[in-house]
A and B are shown apart, each in its own frame.
Chain A
Amino acid sequence: MKARLIQVAYAGRSIWAVLTALLCASVLFVIAGADPIQAYVTLFGEAFFDYFGFGATVVKFSPILLAGLAVALPLKAGLFNVGGEGQIYMGALFCTIAALFLPFLHPAIHLPLCIAAGALGGAFWAFIAGWLKAYRGINEVIVTLLLNYVGINLVSYAAGGPLMEEGAPYPYSPEVPTALHLPYILPPTDAHAGAPAGLVLALCLALLMRYTTFGFAMTIVGNNAQAARYAGISVEHQILYAMSLGGALAGLAGAFEILGLKYRLFHMFSAGYGFDGIVVAFIASANLAFLPIAALFLAGLRAGAQLMQRAVGVDSTIVDAIQGLVVMFVAASLALRFSDSRWGRAAAQRRADEALAGSKELKHG
């Protein structure tokens, strides 16, 4: 019974890690001359229990969640996609092009097309890394990381060149038609339909991975590629699927940013959501069902930071430090495994003894 409880405590180790990180960060508040308790109350109070604050949280929740899925899904196939940021930019670029240059369509057709274009842009960017990994054995971490810069700069070029609005003071595109704007969900805040869409997608993907042959094949590849080959699964194809699907999710994040919030393609428009996605996937240990919770936490942290700065007088960049601490503690907690602990070893020993006793009984009996 005790071992069971401890096992549960181990399963929730990300939560302990986050709490420990917040505890350590309170030292930073003290150094900055603020009362940490008051700071946290303001931070999370504003982010989650204030209508406008929560609206701001939801605005950030949508891209962070989708970027988190873009990391967590390829991770199921054993691939580490750190290219979410570039894929967000490519998704936004494709989406903007579809919104501005597909003429004379009814919005009910045009809007889904723009969203699909965004997903396609992200998928295309990740597919490059997937193909190189599957057929040339090139490390996907390096390729996705470097493609981030290519994607970001392509958007800077487009927003400052061919797509730039005439007479704009700095690089941005013309506004997408109003008919294509995503509906608001918490008026009058900026929160848009991207957030519920992301939630539904997270749920669908969790079900997809758990209950379909598609998800089954992908997780086998992530667990043991040789066994996957033996099971008749094409490891190369699964790598392509996993990367493309992950990229599509990040691309969606980019599309929703354009259609739901910015309405224009700006250069450097993303606040590093692609990298936040990595943090979120880590906190949720790549568990698709926990991912929305982790994404909500980080979105709240980011949204609350601004409000806290005004109320408590601590610079909002302290949140970057908190995020750094969270990453460090979560990463450290991943090294703690129940099976390696004293209790886990005892449980394994007991199981082995039982099995031995069982087989002896059967032999003698």
Chain B
Amino acid sequence: MSYLIIDGVSKSFGTFQALNEVSLNVARGQIHAILGENGAGKTTLMNILYGLYRPDKGQIFLDGEHLFLDSPADAIKHGIGMIHQNFMLVNSLTVAENIILGLGQGLKRIDFAAQHERIQTMSSEFGLEVDPGAPVWTLPMGIRQRVEILKALYRNASVLILDEPTSVLAPGEIDAFLEGLKKLQNAGRTILFITHKLEEVMKVANRVTVMRQGCVSDELEANKTSPRELARKMVGREVAIRIHHRSREPGARRLQLQDLVVLNDRGIKAVDGLTLDVCAGEIHGICGVDGNGQRELGETVAGLRPLISGAISIDGMEVGNQSVKERQRLGLGFVPEDRQGTALVLDYSIATNMALRAFDRSPASRHGILNLGQIAQDALRLMQRYDVRARSPQQPVRFLSGGNQQKVVLAREIDARPNILIVMQACKGLDVGAIEFVQNTLVDLKMAGVAILYVSTELEHVLEVADRVSVLYRGRIAATLPIAQADNEHLSELMSGISTEVAA
């Protein structure tokens, strides 16, 4: 007997279909995992269940009752609680204050002693030990998460939705968290657990729904499946790969990364002992599920993020402590992942953005004086060459489409004549035509002898352009394969951390 039923739910945003006829059956008191890659629609589905979005089509039943959820308040009233990826806590308040916040005590005095006691009882009942009097900002992430869960339980949640709960946790905290989930289950709560990590599913889930591109690709019993099967269902059908395979004999080793260790913004190791190299005239593709250290890797090599330990060398020269500018001078180009926040100044014109990284050199300027005429002229030339569609070089890049913005970035980086180019998520958000253009441009560049590190979470794109493929998993290279030996299924297993093999 299903406790929670999601029946044929569809949702689109503009022309993008995020969910297509998704159905889900969850039995009472179970841990039900929802597995899928980024963009598979997991979070959209859960937001619908929590009343944040209204579905275009489909129904939701809880314990036989047909639910119409207009807001999170509705969802909470029906006993559905959600723990978001980014915690919704007031850092300056204590644990107890956060838990009772917004529960409408009117003007009555709050009896904090009684509340503390109640929270204490609850936390020991569910095995979620916290100090009710501690200010939230003093707590590590793992404990903050407990506070979030307690907040939902305090509101009598019988169904708990956890969105990528382990992504914010340090490795040591994850096991304790998974144990905690089992305790919650034993206490009769139903848990929906969104993740893209296979091993977590295998450890705690009773049932798994695998999603892919807005559809349910399968629903299975966790103890009757294998990580291998799950990985295959998650990545899906064999992709028809349009390989742009023009290759050439790779040249000298241009970029070498040795045992890199880098922290993310939260101070947790995001890159942890990574070693790889890129040769002239090759595209070294890095695939991996998002959040395995891609962003940190790119930023560190470009000089935007401090290197904790390890070595980065360009043509044999150690540059780990060099400035962005110095690395640029040595021929390093960088197309960042964050196009609008890092690569471009949105309110500036196309021309200015094209000059963003070379403004202090000839021909953009001489002796500190900008040559605005030259900058506009160069911009026009690059716009034609890279097919940037805009009315004039003076148009702010804010008004360009994603594809045209990316072309501006690529044009600028390529025009600087790099020896080494690092390209992050080059095709994110682009249409088919723009993807084709970007990929062809990169392959041309490779044929001209540039060493390219191509980092993407989209496996298909990596396979389309790369000569060698490395799998990034938990901040290190799980395996490196020549493109001829790289098959989709094997790579997707490696990306999910099932098997680790050392470079071929």
Contacts and interface: CB of A to CB of B under 8 A. Distances in A.
Interface residues of A, number: 25
Interface stretch (B29-37, B209-217, B259-267, B352-360): B352-360
A203 to B, nearest CB: 16
A230 B302 contact: yes
A350 to B, nearest CB: 11
Contacts of B325: 232
B297 to A, nearest CB: 15
Interface in B339-364: 341-348, 356-357, 359-360
Nearest to A358: B389
A216 interface: yes
Contacts of B338: 226
What DSSP secondary structure best describes chain A's contact surface? Answer: helix
Q: Please classify how large the interface on chain B is, using the bins under 10, 10 to 19, 20 to 34, 35 or more.
A: 20 to 34
Contacts of A24: none
B365 A229 contact: no
Given A230-B357, A355-B389, A212 B345 contact: no
Contacts of A348: 399
A231 B365 contact: no
Contacts of B347: 223
A362 interface: yes
B399 A351 contact: yes
Contact of B345 (A220, A234, A362): A220
Nearest to A351: B399
B324 interface: yes
B244 to A, nearest CB: 21
Given A227-B342, A230-B334, A355-B401, A220 B356 contact: yes
Contacts of B345: 220, 223-224, 227
A218 to B, nearest CB: 12
A359 interface: yes
Contacts of B391: 354
Given A227-B342, A355-B401, A363 B433 contact: yes
B368 interface: yes
Contacts, number: 71
A213 B360 contact: yes
A213 B328 contact: no
B323 interface: yes
Given A226-B341, A362-B389, A214 B399 contact: no
Contacts of A229: 304, 324
A66 B140 CA distance: 49
B132 interface: no
A102 to B, nearest CB: 32
Contacts of A9: none
A227 B324 contact: no
Nearest to B346: A224
A132 B210 CA distance: 51
Nearest to B336: A230
B360 A217 contact: yes
A232 B344 CA distance: 13
A212 B368 contact: yes
A104 interface: no
B372 interface: yes
A341 B345 CA distance: 23
Nearest to B399: A351
A211 B371 CA distance: 8
B369 A211 contact: yes
Interface in B396-419: 399-401
A227 B357 CA distance: 9
Given A229-B304, A231-B356, A355-B401, A211 B343 contact: no
A212 B324 CA distance: 21
B370 interface: yes
A275 B194 CA distance: 54
Q: Which one of A213, A229, A355 has the highest number of Cβ atoms from chain B below 10 Å of its Cβ? A: A213
Nearest to B334: A230
Interface string A240-251: 000000000000
A231 B389 contact: no
Q: Which one of B304, B348, B356 has the highest number of Cβ atoms from chain A below 10 Å of its Cβ? A: B356
A362 to B, nearest CB: 7
A230 B327 CA distance: 11
A346 to B, nearest CB: 14
Nearest to A352: B399
B260 to A, nearest CB: 19
A227 B356 contact: yes
Given A224-B341, A352-B399, A363-B433, A232 B324 contact: yes
Nearest to A359: B389
A212 B304 contact: no
A232 B356 CA distance: 9
B399 A213 contact: no
B423 to A, nearest CB: 14
Given A230-B336, A359-B389, A213 B368 contact: yes
Contacts of B323: 232, 234
Q: Which one of B345, B348, B370, B401 has the highest number of Cβ atoms from chain A below 10 Å of its Cβ? A: B345
A229 B345 CA distance: 12
A220 B389 CA distance: 24
Contact of A230 (B343, B359, B360, B390): B343
Contacts of A224: 341, 345-346
Contacts of B389: 355, 358-359, 362
Nearest to A212: B368
Given A226-B342, A230-B336, A212 B356 contact: no
A211 B365 CA distance: 9
B104 to A, nearest CB: 33
6 contacts: A212-B365, A212-B369, A229-B304, A230-B336, A231-B357, A355-B389
Those 7 A-B pairs whose CB atoms lie nearest each other, nearest first = A232-B325, A232-B324, A213-B360, A224-B345, A231-B356, A226-B342, A223-B345
Interface of B: 302, 304, 323-325, 328, 334, 336, 338, 341-348, 356-357, 359-360, 365, 368-370, 372, 389-391, 399-401, 433
Interface of A: 211-214, 216-217, 220, 223-224, 226-227, 229-232, 234, 348, 351-352, 354-355, 358-359, 362-363
